[in-house]
Structure formats: C-alpha cells, structure tokens
C-alpha cells in the first residue's frame, strides 16, 4: 500500500456528526469518505480501498457493531473504531472481546485524542501490512531455500552415486590389471613405480623385488630412465631390451598414458627377449 493514499471511512446517520468529523479531519494526511448508514458504508467499501473505519453505534436498521462485524468478515484487514455513548458500552463489549473492534470512543469525544487515535490506527494498519509482507517474503524465501536444499541433496546424491561407481570401476580396473598374466609396471612422470601387478612379482624373481614408491633405476641397470623420458615426451610406444639389477634381460614395451593423464606416466610390459630384425635395441 502507498502510505500517501490512506483512506478513512466515517459512518453516522446524523449529518451534523459527519460534518463535525469532516471539519476535524480536513487537514489530516489521508482521504476521508463518509456514509449515513451501515449499508451505504458497505457499498463504499466495495468500491474503495479503505484502511480505517470509524462508525457510530446507534444507527437505524444496522447498528455500529453489526456493521463492523460484517466489515470484519468482508474486509478483515480494515481497522475498526466505534463511537458510542456511555449507555452503549455493555452492548459493544461482546464485539470488543471477539475482535470485531480495534478501539472505541465515548461521545462526546476529545478532538485531539480522536485525531491522534486515527493517526495511530493508520500507522498500525501500515505496520500490520508490512509484517504480512515480511512474513510472505520469509515464507517465499523458505520455500526457495527448501527447493535449493532439495536440489542440492539431489545433486549430492547423484555425485555420490557417480563417485561410488567411479570408485568401484577403479577398484575393478586395479583388480583386472593386478590379475593380468602379462607382467606390468606403472611408472609416473617422476619415474617412480606406482603399480606392479602379481605377474611382475612372479616373473621378476625374489633377488630385488619391485617396491611401490621406488625409482625405476633402483630395479634396472642404468640408462633406462633416458628412454622413459624420451618416450614420455614423444607420446609414442617404444620397444627396447632392458636388464634388471640381478642380470635378467627382458623385452620392454613402453606405453605412455593418453587423454587427461598424457605426460603423467606410462605402462611397462615385460616379456622374454625375442630378437627380431630391425628392432630398436637402444
């Protein structure tokens, strides 16, 4: 609501009372509407955005409490004030207890007090509406946060399942490599042994077993490291003869890693030497 367009509706069947209210409130910062009956007041409410209603109690056909009770049903946000005489206080007590009324004033009223109470009623209306908007905003943000959390849980669940699958695939891949009958050594770009399958241990012998974390120069005669470095830089397979530290000669196939791991390591496969014409014997 634009706080500069607040509207007050005054209801009284006596025109002189309405005229007195108009004079009293003519300089107040809100629009003033008047009606001479409860039914006329309901018609004005149906056509205007009213924020505070001040109604007389004693009116024909529909008295003030009946009128404001209907306003409470049809326009629950409107703040309701009643003007009543001393003899009518008991008759409006039920409406006060049931929340149909915001406040009541006894006739004759004090002009300054009435003006102040209407101003405060307008401010109270604004405060209530601000609180409602804040509540709606908080509820909307909570719904959005709930949706984000649900999406996050779904994303985390998918990533967890993906990681579990990748971990399982990695474990199976390691198991396959470990059980291959071909002797295999995995070497990092730093020439560190990072993998050695079962076949290499059977094939290698027990004099100086392959140990993970060791440098390939710890297990082969000098010179192999130069071939490994050239192989990594050329990104091509190489075949060569090599001798381990206890004098056994092998045919080595050097297979650099490709894809995302290109340049980060290679695979060495070992086999018994089978000299062939034109083979690189470097």
The pLDDT profile of the chain, 282 residues, written as one tens digit per residue, is: 444 579 999 999 999 999 999 999 988 999 999 999 999 999 999 999 999 999 998 898 898 889 999 999 999 999 999 988 766 666 677 667 766 788 888 888 899 999 999 999 999 999 998 998 999 999 999 988 888 888 888 888 888 888 888 888 888 888 888 888 889 999 999 999 998 888 888 887 666 788 888 898 888 888 888 888 888 888 788 888 888 887 888 888 999 988 888 889 999 998 888 655 554 443
**Domain map of the chain by residue range?**
3-134, 180-271
**How would you class 214 by CB atoms within 10 Å of its CB: exposed for 0-12, middle for 13-18, buried for 19 or more?**
middle
Helix pair 89-97, 64-74: axis angle to 10 deg = 10
Please provide the CATH number assigned to the domain covering 3-134. Answer: 3.40.50.2300
CA distance 201 to 185: 10
pTM (two decimals): 0.54
- CA-based nearest residue to 12, from 39, 34, 32: 34
Q: What's the rounded Cα separation, in Å, for the pair 258 and 36? A: 92
Question: What tens digit of pLDDT does each residue of 188-227 get?
Answer: 999 999 988 888 888 876 667 888 888 988 888 888 888 8
Sign, Cα dihedral of 162, 163, 166, 172: negative
Look at the domain 180-271 and name its fold: Beta-Lactamase (3.30.450)
């Amino acid at each position: 609501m634009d706080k500069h367009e607040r509207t007050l509706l005054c209801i009284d069947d006596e025109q002189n009372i309405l005229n007195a209210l108009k004079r009293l409130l003519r300089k107040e910062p809100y629009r003033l509407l008047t009606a001479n009956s409860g039914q006329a007041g309901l018609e004005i409410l149906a056509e205007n955005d009213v924020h505070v209603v001040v109604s007389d109690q004693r009116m024909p056909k529909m008295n003030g409490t009946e009128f404001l009770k209907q306003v409470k049903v049809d326009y629950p946000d409107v703040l309701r004030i009643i003007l009543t005489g001393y003899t009518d206080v008991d008759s409006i007590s039920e409406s006060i207890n049931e929340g149909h009324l915001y406040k009541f004033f006894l006739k004759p009223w004090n002009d300054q007090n009435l003006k102040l109470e209407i101003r405060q009623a307008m401010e109270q209306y604004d405060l209530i509406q601000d609180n409602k908007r804040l509540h709606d905003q908080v509820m909307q943000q909570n719904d959005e946060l709930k949706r984000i959390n649900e999406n996050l849980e779904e994303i985390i669940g998918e990533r967890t399942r993906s990681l579990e699958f990748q971990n399982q695939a990695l474990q199976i891949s390691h198991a396959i490599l470990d059980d291959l009958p071909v002797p295999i050594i995995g070497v990092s770009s730093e020439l560190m042994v990072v993998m050695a399958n079962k076949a290499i241990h059977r094939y290698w012998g027990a004099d100086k077993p392959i140990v993970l974390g060791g440098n390939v120069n710890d297990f082969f005669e000098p010179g192999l490291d130069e071939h490994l470095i050239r192989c990594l830089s050329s990104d091509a397979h190489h075949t060569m003869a090599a001798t381990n530290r206890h004098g056994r000669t092998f045919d080595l196939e050097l297979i650099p890693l490709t894809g995302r791991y290109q340049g980060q390591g290679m695979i060495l496969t070992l086999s018994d030497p089978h000299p062939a014409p034109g083979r690189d014997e470097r």
